[in-house]
Amino acid sequence: MPARAPLPAGNGRPVKAKRVSSARERAQTCSLLPTSAPRLREAALLAVDAALLAGVLMRTQEEPDASEMVNYAPFTLLPSAVPKALFEQAYAVQQDFNLLVDAVSQNREFLERTLASTIKVDDFTARLFRIYTQVLEEGLAQSVFLGINRSDYMIDCAVDGTPALKQIEINTIAASFGGLTSRTPAVHRQVLKVLGKTEEASRLVTNNPSQGLALGIAKAWELYGSQSAVVMFLVERVQRNIFDQRCVENELWNRNIRVIRRRFRDVFEKGSLDDARRLYIDGQEVAVVYYREGYVPQNYDPQNWEARLLLERSRAVKCPDIATQLAGTKKVQQELTRPGMLERLLPGRAASVARIRETFTGLYSLDLGEEGDKVAAKAIAAPDHFVLKPQREGGGNNLYGEELRHVLEKIKDSPERTSYILMDKIKPQPSKNYLLRPHSPLKVSECISELGIFGVYVRQGKEMVMNKAAGHLLRTKAIEHADGGVAAGVAVLDTPYLV
């Protein structure tokens, strides 16, 4: 039987320190590479067929709304090495991050103070914030809260070569690829077996985020308290990644929970609230709204903003509610690294605070004033040491190197700079792999990987009724690409090979 993923700690006890693998051990992935060209081509052909058989699928760019034309989602030929101790650390801290996100979402004073400068210059965040304050002033109808987030990390080797787990960001809305990554380990397991690496194949951890995400949605649906109500996936107009969503959707159907798929425009045209603020679409009561859009300005026009307000005013469980979406902004991430902030938000949870803080890298405010002036000057002088991050989700938005310098020089004396934060650039150790994409040549690439851990929590009133790590996502890209995920066409799906 394949080895199971290590369980998250989740019991409040500190995680025992473990030896982190050496560079030599991490390089074991290289030994998995086929040594002959014929064997390489054979392995790649088999890998593609295995992906198609397993359902690692996306719609094509040419027909993004039609499932008659599909191809495999891009993935690595071989699994990539991840230090076991850091993999377990990422799992162990996920429940702590779930508690932190939930605490931030309930702290109006913190959100108002933290986002005060951002909403003056970032219209998208400002519009979200206006809905947030309007709903609070009206009084929340929602009593059950569902969080599905994904905390993303890279393994930093910058200081002395000792690998360290460092958080890049936490995604609190539309965290994707929980479905397809549930099916990727079977593909890599098959490839390794064909290459005669049976023992290595047995070391790949099992992974089923789609089941874990569905468990959270199902619990929220149950606590809502209406057997006839539906779960609504709020989806984008163009849905290339529909099979990723269908994996979660099918888990719900298997639990006899009805699922509908609608867009913002459908909500605007056909949505309504009754006197108890129950949400209805096409005459169907909606228990849970699971957002798979709504995270970038392009998702909104005036009618869509009206639809978002209607949803937020309703009794339905929103995943996320708008406060939780704001909790995932980059400015909040930066503010959480300030001394004493975690202790204020998670009082009496010293072990959780310690686990969270260990994953932090340097994050800096660019607010106007002496502190922000010094940070901006430092980044302009050494742009390769930093990443400039706007308040945006979805990949492909960050700025690096000379582009970072150019933008900061342009806005260094402007309030516009407060719409960004600055982060120390994480420097992972590259490894070799083959990135399989439709219609692309087979060639070896120097690659870096990003590990994401899915977290799910459900709160009813003040009681936390579910809090778990729900699985992981490994994405790998060639080192020449500074930014971008799988949906953006840069990274590919991968599987951890623990060393």
Supply the residues annotated as catalytic: 150, 169, 171, 176, 330, 389, 393-394, 475
Residue 177 has φ and ψ, to the nearest 5°, of: 70, 15
> Is the separation of the CB atoms in 233 and 240 below 8 Å?
no
**H-assigned helices in 314-431:** 322-327, 330-336, 341-345, 350-358, 370-381, 401-411
Compute the distance between CA of residue 420 and CA of residue 364 in angstroms, rounded to an integer.
Answer: 10
Check if the beta carbon of residue 93 is closer than 8 Å to that of residue 355: yes
Neighbours of 73 (CB within 10 A): 27
| Alpha-carbon 220 to chain mean position | 20
CA dist list (Å): 317 to 134, 235, 257, 278, 309: 18, 16, 15, 10, 14
CB contact at 8 A, 470 and 209 = yes
Please give the distance of CA 75 from its chain centroid, rounded to a whole number. Answer: 18
Closest CA to 108 of 270, 258, 321: 321
456 close to 371: Cβ distance less than 8 angstroms? no
CA distance 435 to 432: 10
Phi (first) and psi of residue 122, to 5 degrees: -115, 105
φ and ψ at 484, to 5 degrees? Answer: 120, 145
The b-or-e profile of 355-392 (16+ CB within 10 A means b, else e) is: bbbebebebbbbbeeeebeebbeebbeebebbbbbbbb
CA distances from 153 to 85, 234, 260, 449 (A): 14, 27, 33, 9
Measured at the CA of 39, the angle between CA 35 and CA 45, to 5 degrees, comes to 135
* Cβ count near 312 (within 10 Å): 24
Distance in angstroms (rounded) separating the CA atoms of residues 46 and 194: 9
Residue in 405, 436, 367, 343 with CA at minimum distance from that of residue 74: 436
CA distance readout (Å), 64 to 30, 58, 145, 241: 36, 9, 32, 9
Distances (CA, A) of 431 to 28, 78, 161, 280: 10, 11, 14, 51
